[in-house]
Structure 1
């Protein structure tokens, strides 16, 4: 097992991961109540044994439950064959964005304990704190790399200028961003910046938070504590418009002999330079296996053009979040000189 998942180099610092990862958030957080450990542990272990060795979590997922779940799933497994990515920067108590250096260190040490590992393979700043110069946060992460607590550093929801400033302090290995057939704004500036600097791209929500996996009707099944209920793209008036795009993707998938989620993932796997790793989440082994199947789907340049046309800017209505304030478009950090004056 495992041979059907190729490996890719993520960034230019030496991190190698499976070409598709596993987003673990939905197992513990965001999509309704946490799932039972006895169901999720075999799923994670099946993923690793199938060659999906890049596992994505964060301290806020739960909070904390998802990291603890991962530690249970990885017990007894060969730690060297798994790449664990986790994140800090959203404080559990009040959801405030915090990038303070001492907070970064405390979060890293707490994640190491919960994950029960000696070193985090890829440690992301989950959201950028606009009160603190990115250089100050990165300086502390650089120390954690030097101490052997982190192997590689990543950013999530970061603007091109933040990426450049962070990368100047210590090389950034990956930028995590939302990228799928229905979310393509990062293609304008963020992805070209990453490629210019030799930074890998990790695509979260590559199946449109379930839209391509379950179809447009998925929104009628959201439970009370499913955060997707707040997302503009899933509002009834927008679903009606967005449904047309799903139908065209479905029609093309039928012609290709695959499913819409497989086609959506294959589109990301064909994005150029083998520097893109989508991390679809799932809570079912059968869906995981189908997602892996996307790696063997070949798309011709003509088919890619057809998908680009289907996924054009006017094909989708609704912002990514109801509050876009913490996304890369609206976050810049103050200059380092301002921080030096106050510390």
Structure 2
């Protein structure tokens, strides 16, 4: 590998001052165009690489954005990360990613490490444990010169830009769609009842079915949801199921398959899952598409705007979901 040259060595080679080389490389109006070309050609020839740490120290900026996520196994969060990266890749910023695995302690440590001079801005979706504990002091104590954006799982007490998904409205619309198709006895399944997004979706369900029947809720770990759903399908005449997350969707799907109620359209099922998984299930699964990549892109763009204009008003953007109809909401003979 070709050895890189230092700024001082480059200046000595060109027989000019270090200041002249630095200004030429930064396209200063104080330096003639011919000198700029000469310096740039020499820098390229001798593999000159600017000392980023020194530049950051001088400017007070790191040109780095931190991204803190609760999980990478979640298809929505994985898509959101891809969206964030697609925007940041077209800028001069770098990304540092931290996965908390739904741990409040790890989230606190990640935020403290990243905001201790490592990043200019932070994009975060908080962990399940953080929401259960309702402990957000680590976010409210971030230095004012480091800008924060929360997405998906957000907290109103934290004053920062936010990007949300229409969790309440998405489920309310799903209930109405099922009722329009004549499906009035609807069960809700969830493994995310402790999360703000799960609670919003549950509210959408409860408000949607209140004129038909009392809420029928199956909430808990994936195995629990599957056992309870299997029993419910055997004991009651259920017309439809709405599952609020991937684990609940798969548990409900397995229970529906076991009881033979999905293939013939006896029970309709709407869930949350990635496009590839949904289309390859038999029957294919109708899902609510949260547009994770769009959420990520929107989050990155909003934070970049904040970095350019720190004094602008705080913004909150809601990204609408879309119902993707497949076989599990189609009546078949």
Calculate the TM-score normalised by the size of structure 2: 0.28
Higher RCO (CA < 8 A, seq sep 6+): 1
Calculate the TM-score normalised by the size of structure 1: 0.28
